[in-house]
Structure 1
Amino acid sequence: MRCPASIFAVVFFSATLAAPAFAQKLGPDGAPNPTASVISEHDLLKLMSRAHGQIDIPDSKAAVLIQPMGRTWDYFHEVLLHWGGATVIIGMILALTAAYLVMGPLRISGGRSGKKLLRFKAFERFSHWLTAVSFVLLGLTGLNITFGKIVLLPVIGPEAFSDLSQFAKYVHNFTSLSFVVGLILIVVIFFRDNLLQRVDIDWLKQGGGFIKSKHAPAGRFNLGEKMVYWFSMAAGVAVSVSGFLLLFPFYGTNIAEMQFAQVVHAVVAVLFIALILAHIYIGTLGMEGAFEAMGTGEVDVNWAKEHHDLWFAQQQARENPSAMPAE
């Protein structure tokens, strides 16, 4: 049997350890707080690597409540993606703004001739605008998923933001189908004209048309346009495949693969948006006469001579075969 002094020491020591925990359970008025926790949820999650629940359905994945990669994904989505995405997109906008303020639009050096040349047929323009409009809708609704809680929610309130986000999610899902159709059409229609050629090296050596004292030769598409084409095709395939994995979750994928698909989809989409912002700038504000190519399908003859001289020569030879030099 223990002596009374030993028993008193044990009781006193236990009460001393329990005092902070008991204090945490008391509210500001000194009354017990049944919702308080002795240990914080954050500290508890650190101690638990995984947490499973009990379910009545065959899908075992539904029983996973907590898993380590889920917390890593949450940090990526709520912290890294916000900062990284904002840096890339805002950085591109600032860079394009600086380019416009410093260099201004690239004018047709010889002025407009008044004569027009067909550059894109109606179906080619339809394929381009189908993809372009779909991409804009996907980009805006996708940015709402990433930045909506930060940018829109404080402005329009939770109810309006909830309705808008639900509508945006449906638009995002269904527009993805038209984007894929447009992407396939562009790949098929413009594949041959975007193959690399020796003239692309000469175009690069001459400054890509941005050095006014040098002439950069090019075929139907120059090296810059070809790079946009190939990067767009690669990014388009990546966001399409990862997007469909997210659109139809767990069809042949597990939780880790779904998280990886979401990371790929988000990262590639942000880079894709930055690329297309530069493409839009060159096709509108950055170069005189460029928008007309996809607007009406026709370009000024002087524009064609200056930016795509080899293609212009080919078009002239087709219209006037007798003017071709004899071999």
Structure 2
Amino acid sequence: MIRDPKDLPRYKASERANHWTVGICFILLALSGLAFFHPAFFPLTQLFGSPVWARILHPYVGVLMALSFLVIFLRFKHLNKITQADKEWLAKAKNMVDGNDHDMPEQGKYNGGQKVMFWALALCMLLMTASGLLIWRAWFGFDVNLVRLGAVVHAAVGAMMIGFIMVHVYAAIWVKGTVRAMWYGTVTRAWAKQHHRDWYRQMTGK
């Protein structure tokens, strides 16, 4: 793709690598997790070589995802504080869904919906990590009742995360010009001005 030299930088290479590490880990964990959850999905274990390897790799990939997400959290938490403008944006979110986003409140680098998603995924990641440790019996020997609680929480939050990530991916594809930010690290000025005007002003001084 030929990119305009006037495009605005949105993500550094290290930030994009961090994002894709989390994304790839999530896909692997979702596939193996579904295989463990219901017999209908059990054939998915063959993607990992065998059911045994799927069981072995799942928690280690989970640790990698948790650590990678922690880096994302520390990098971007200050940009995801909910402001009054975000609350106004969320109140008018239906207008954007209907395709009428021209009267939306001006947003910084992230809009209200992205910020809510950020905090929701952060909470889910915390619960998934804690519950995952509870049921990792190869390394830990928690009381059986805690293991059972961990299994229920892990499955429930895992299902929620799959739903959240599906919304995240759909939104990125739906808002044309968004995906290129994670591929190339840049966005067009027109995209920034329309969807994140306050950030556009910060970047251009206009």
TM-score normalised by length of structure 1: 0.56
**2:32 alignment partner in structure 1:** 141
1:294 aligns to 2:185 (yes or no): no
- Amino acid of the residue matched to residue 209 of structure 1? M
Alpha-carbon distance in structure 1 between the residues aligned to 2:48 and 2:191: 48
1:123 Cα deviation after fit: 1.5
SS at structure 1 position matched to 2:180: helix
Question: 1: CA distance between counterparts of 2:25 and 2:69?
Answer: 10
Mapped to 2, the partners of 1:312 and 1:200 lie a distance apart of: 16
What does 1:91-170 correspond to in 2, within 5 Å? 114=4, 115-147=6-38, 149-152=39-42, 164-170=50-56
Indicate the residue corresponding to 1:255 in structure 2.
144
List per-residue Cα deviations over 1:129-156 (Å, max 9, x = no partner). Answer: 1111111111111011112x22455xx9
* C-alpha spacing 1:280/1:219, structure 2 compared with 1 (3 Å): same
For 2:17, the aligned partner's letter is F
**Residue type of the partner of 2:193?**
K
Q: What is the Cα deviation at residue 163 of structure 1?
A: 6.0
Letter in structure 1 aligned against 2:153:
V
Higher RCO (C-alpha under 8 Å, 6+ residues apart): 2
Deviation track 1:63-109 (CA, whole Å, cap 9, x = no partner) reads xxxxxxxxxxxxxxxxxxxxxxxxxxxxxxxxxxxxxxxxxxxxxxx
Q: Is the 8 A contact 1:119 1:293 kept in 2?
A: yes
Query: Which one of 159, 178, 196 corresponds to residue 308 of structure 1?
Result: 196
Q: 1:266 aligns with which of 147, 150, 155?
A: 155
Q: What is the deviation of 1:161?
A: 9.8
Alignment root-mean-square deviation, CA = 2.4
Which amino acid in the other structure matches residue 191 of structure 2? Answer: W
Which has the greater radius of gyration?
A: 1
Distance 1:190 1:119, change over 3 A: same
* 2:107 is equivalent to residue 218 of structure 1: yes
Q: Which amino acid aligns with 1:134?
A: C
Which of 224, 227, 233 is matched with 2:122 structurally?
233
TM-superposition CA deviations, 1:229-248 (whole Å, max 9, x none):
00000000100111012114
Q: Report if aligned partners of 1:238, 1:264 keep a CA contact under 8 Å in 2.
A: yes
Listed one character per residue, the Cα deviations across residues 42-79 of structure 1 (whole Å, up to 9, x for unaligned) are: xxxxxxxxxxxxxxxxxxxxxxxxxxxxxxxxxxxxxx
- Distance in 1, matches of 2:49 and 2:20, equals 28
Deviation at 1:212, TM superposition (A): 2.0
Q: 1:138 to 1:225 in 2, by over 3 A?
A: same
Change (3 A) 1:252 1:139: same
> CA–CA distance in 2 between the matches of 1:161 and 1:182?
23
Q: How far apart are residue 256 of structure 1 and its match? A: 0.8
Contact between 1:138 and 1:172, CA under 8 Å: does it hold in 2? yes
Amino acid corresponding to residue 134 of structure 2 in structure 1:
L
- The structure-2 alpha-carbon separation of the partners of 1:215 and 1:134, relative to structure 1 and needing over 3 Å to count, comes to same
In 1, Cα distance between equivalents of 2:193 and 2:155: 40
